Amino acid sequence: MSMEITLSREDIVRLCERVEGAQTRAYAIPKLTDEYPGMTIGDGYAVQLELRRRFLARGHKQVGWKAGLTSKAKMKQMGVDVPSIGFLTDRMARPENAAISTADLVHPRVECEVAFVMKDELKGPGCTAGAVLAATDYVLPAVEIIDSRFSGFKFDLPSVVADNGSSARFVGGGRARYARDLDLRTLGVVLEKNGEIVAMGASAAVLGHPAEAIAMLVNILAELGESLPAGSFVMSGGITEAIAVKPGDSVIARFQELGSVSMRFVE
Ligand code: OOG
Ligand code: MG
């Protein structure tokens, strides 16, 4: 993947302010490539970096990273065929069984993911799934609440990367387990909304093995000149397609071996 930056510093700041406004005040904007058709993936990451810098300067704490678009179901749903990464902060975390407000979201969707908590730092390039498993403290089930800031949830890779991979909220829960005690490829997951099954899948949907997604994330970080710190909470990407939610909905994701994660949505 080329990380070439073609936009001027002024344009990067301008686009960052546009995305930041849409994120913090919850409104939809056109995808960035409508105005900048030549925008590259490197430009997208430059905007994301500026966004992260601003959030951290305001006192948000980074807790980890997320891989996105790592399953066929997600790639097909979004029309994008290359994975992406985004950062996660303390302000995005919600406790298990939380009532999650949708007033500060545009058009939220939920998706089931396997999350990794790292005990050692990882550095690319050349990071492998084996290296990821050796550096993992434990895994736990998670639900990510994504919320593209782009109208109609329609975007391309440079735009979604600039929008921090549609990151909005996340809930970790269930039962934490050591990766070595599980077959992380064959974990089944069932997503229920208001008591009905709305999506299901198995963890192998994520690049054949969720640890592959974390390795991919570490290798993208290397291209950006960064590493994955020990202690990071890392989500490996939606196993199933994402499901839209609205106030009044209750959601439960049941993971084989890892227990379940639930939440409900309110105004
Ligand atoms: C992009 C974010 C994708 C995942 O797990 O695949 C993502 C999107 O679909 O809006 O978080
Ligand atoms: Mg996700």
- Rounded to 5°, the CA angle 216-221-223 comes to 100
Q: Is residue 219 part of a domain?
A: yes
Q: Is residue 151 part of a domain?
A: yes
Q: Is the pLDDT of residue 109 over 90?
A: yes
What's the confidence (pLDDT) of residue 1? Answer: 79
Q: Confidence class of residue 69 from pLDDT cuts 50, 70 and 90?
A: very high
Q: Is residue 139 part of a domain?
A: yes
Compute the average pLDDT of residues 10-37: 98
Q: Confidence class of residue 252 from pLDDT cuts 50, 70 and 90?
A: very high
Q: Is the pLDDT of residue 105 over 90?
A: yes
Q: Is 144 in the pocket of ligand 1 (CB under 6 A)?
A: yes
Q: What is the pTM of this model?
A: 0.98
Q: Is the pLDDT of residue 206 over 90?
A: yes
Residues that place a CB less than 5 A from ion ligand 2: 144, 238
Domain that holds residue 160: 9-266
Residues 6+ apart with CB under 8 A from 77: 241, 242
- Structure tokens belonging to residue 96: 């298990």
Compute the average pLDDT of residues 229-235: 98
Q: Is residue 91 part of a domain?
A: yes
Q: Is 160 in the pocket of ligand 1 (CB under 6 A)?
A: yes
Q: Is residue 4 part of a domain?
A: no
What's the confidence (pLDDT) of residue 2? Answer: 86
What's the confidence (pLDDT) of residue 141? Answer: 98
What's the confidence (pLDDT) of residue 250? Answer: 98
Q: Is the pLDDT of residue 127 over 90?
A: yes
Task: Give the other-Cβ count within 10 Å of 71's Cβ.
Answer: 27
pLDDT in tens, 110-126: 999 999 999 999 999 99
Lowest mean pLDDT among 53-57, 69-73, 241-245, 248-252: 69-73
Q: Is residue 146 part of a domain?
A: yes
What's the confidence (pLDDT) of residue 225? Answer: 97
- Structure tokens belonging to residue 228: 């994955």
What is the Å distance from ligand 2's center to 69 Cα? 7
The four Cα atoms 191, 193, 194, 198 give a dihedral, to 10 degrees, of -80
Q: Is residue 118 part of a domain?
A: yes
Nearest CA to ligand 1 atom 4: 68
Q: Is residue 1 part of a domain?
A: no
What is the Å distance from ligand 1's center to 156 Cα? 12
Q: Which of 23, 69, 144, 189 to mutate to test the pocket of ligand 1 (most atoms within 8 A of CB)?
A: 69
CATH label of the domain that carries residue 33: 3.90.850.10
Q: Confidence class of residue 3 from pLDDT cuts 50, 70 and 90?
A: very high
Q: How many helices (H) and strands (E) does the chain have?
A: 6, 12
Compute the average pLDDT of residues 190-212: 97
pLDDT in tens, 133-168: 999 999 999 999 999 999 999 999 999 999 999 999
pLDDT in tens, 78-87: 999 899 999 9
Compute the average pLDDT of residues 88-108: 98
Q: Is 114 in the pocket of ligand 1 (CB under 6 A)?
A: no
What's the confidence (pLDDT) of residue 233? Answer: 98
CB 41 within 8 A of CB 2: yes
Query: Considering its fold, how many domains does the chain have in total?
Result: 1
Q: What is the DSSP string of 93-125?
A: B--TT-EEE-TT-SS-EEEEEEEEEESS-B--S
